[in-house]
Each structure stands twice: as C-alpha cells, then as structure tokens.
Structure 1
Amino acid sequence: MDFNRTDGAGSSRSPGEYAWNQADDDFLRQVMDEARANEAGPSSSAPPEETYDVSWAAPQSFSHGSQPVPQRMIERLSHHGLLPDADQPTMTYEIRGHRYTATQDPTSGTRLIHHPLEDQRIGEGPQGAPDFGAFFRETRVHGVPPREQWASLALIEKLRDTDHMPVPDHPTTIALDGKLYKAELAEGGFVRLTRQG
C-alpha cells in the first residue's frame, strides 16, 4: 500500500496523485468490521460512529490521501483525547471536507484511511457555496495553484449528480477545500474552474 507523505520526502510522486486502491478498500473494510464486532457484541444495533471535524489539527502542508497521521497532528489530537485507543479502536474524522477513518496500526502507529469518493460528503464552503473539495485534487505549479484549472471527471460527475453543473453562459460558484471557484461549462462538456479572490 502506498501512502503520501506530507513532508515531501520519500516519493517522487505528487501528493495529489494518490488513488484509492483495492488494498485500501480491503483494509478499511477489515478495520470497520472489527470495530463493529467489538462495539456491537452480540447485537448489531450499535449507533453509527460520531464524526469529528479535526481540520484544525492538520498541518498547513497536509495533503489528502491514506497515510500515517503526521506527528504534529498526533500531538494536537492526543491533547484533546481524539486519537483511537483500546476502548475506541477507530474514529471517523472529517479533515478539510474529506472523510477519514483513523485506526491504530501495530507497524506504523496511528493511520488515516481516506474514504473512497462514493463515501465522501459535500460540505459547506465560504458564503454558503457547496464544497466539492473531496472530489478534486488541486494542481500546483512550483507549489502555487494556477488561477484556472480543469475539473476532474469525478468532480464533473458530482456536479451533475447534485444539480450544480454549469450550463452555457451560466457559471456556478462552488468551493474546493474552502476556496471559492467559478465553474464554467466549456466545449466538449469540460468544466473550467477559476479561483475567486
């Protein structure tokens, strides 16, 4: 299993290149099944796990994807009692609009497992705009995102599914990880994203 490192060391791949794979899916399913079995005991009517928004604990350089929890984040979460332990072996987090399962791994400590796209939710961004950040990986040139980018196919599909797809001469305003973008329909059904402000 490949994990993105948040400190830029180890891999020559860009942090946004990580793709959810079958090994991630199998591991997440195993962890969730074990947690349900431990919590529910003989009954399967255990309440759904609470989701904690821990965006405040993530370092500024945090990039999305399955990975070990960054050390600074462990320190912050530990101080607030928000790390998995023997009593609560998994926790569900939301980090900047993305859903994660945090779990203890005997080989690598606390790990974040990034949920697949179909399990992501649309959050609320600035000025009430829907935040589709979970469905888009911002490209960067020398560490800086360009003002204009093209929407990913996953984002275009989600825009259609939620009735936020722009139509000719009528752009929509959406948020991506807390930043506002104008989404315009381009030739061929592609969507041009222009960062606002």
Structure 2
Amino acid sequence: MEQVLIKADKRNSTGKGVARKFRAAGRIPAILYGTNIEPVSITISARDWEYVTRHMKRNVIFDMEIQEETGVDKRPVMVKEVQRDGLGTKIMHIDFFQVSMEQTVEVEVSIHLKGKAKGEVLGGIIDIHLRSIRVECLPNQIPEEISLDISELDIGDSIHVSDISLPGVKLVEHGEIAILSIIPPTVEEKRGAAEIPEAAAEEKVE
C-alpha cells in the first residue's frame, strides 16, 4: 500500500468566513478525526494537495505531519470525504480519518477488468453489476485495485464476489452477489441485424 507525506497546519478558528480566507490564501480547510481521538481542525496547501493527488489511486495512506506550537505531530490518515463546490471543480473541505496500523479498516476498492471475454467476441454483452467492492483489512494490506481476468468467460458466465480470494483481506459484500455477467445480445440488436440484409435486398430489387 502506497504511503504519501502530506503536511498540515493546525487551526484554532473555524466558520465559513474563516474558511473563505484560508481558501483565498491557497489553503484547504480540513478536519482530522478517528476512533477515540479528539477532532483536529487543520489546513493543507492546495498546491501540495493537487501535486500529491494528481496520480494518486484510491485508499492511499497519508503520513500527515501536523505543525503545532509544540512541534510536529505525525499521524497515519486516510481521506474520508472531499467536498467540492457546485461545479465540482474547487475543493471546499476535506475530512481525514486517523487509522491504526494494527486495526482493520473497511474501504471500497475499485474493480479492474483484464482481457476480452470469449462471449463478447461472439456478440455477447458485459453486464457489470459492481464497479467496486467493500473490503476489510489492515491499512497496509489494502489492495490498490481488484483485477479480474474475464478472457475465458462465455455467454451465460458470471463472476461472483465469492470467486475472489485475497490474502489477508475480508470481502464485506455477500458472496452470492454477481460482479458481472456475459449476457446474450438484446432482442433489439438481433432485430436490427436481421433488418440490414432485408434493406439491402430491397435496394437491389429497385
């Protein structure tokens, strides 16, 4: 699991007006909370955040260094929520969650499909039910993604949650849930394919 350094400053003042001033100064207001710890109001550099997250994947653990009057306090954290403006372009606030490297966490991991299914080559359609799966594991065992090879799947085949096995990782989703299925072409597609030769025949007669 990737770990990235992010620096933060502790802030004592809160409120919308204060938050606007921080954002105008290139700082993002944020809060850090966790199990059995007091929430800490902080700010981080918008430029630093853009830099470290540009190529960042989901579920990165940050080594957060919080600058306080007494010195630097270092904590392992994860992003819980990023709030944006109405256009979705500007970050307004970030929620960080402090983790313990000895305690499991529950997170959502993206699914990545590899290959082209046999059934797809034969005209079948990939019907995707889940694009991510919730898992529970230690922070340093969180997968960057779950890779599924679908190249051997034929029409009518499916992959279920129970088909996935990851060492040290517990799948939270029910095992019977289908992740994806290869289904036959729809009736509309078959009908459209059948109409093409007919139209061609009519043109030939004319």
- Per the normalisation by structure 2, the TM-score is 0.23
- Per the normalisation by structure 1, the TM-score is 0.23
More helix per residue: 1
Specify which structure has the bigger relative contact order, considering alpha-carbon pairs within 8 angstroms and separated by 6 or more residues.
2
Q: Which has the larger radius of gyration?
A: 2
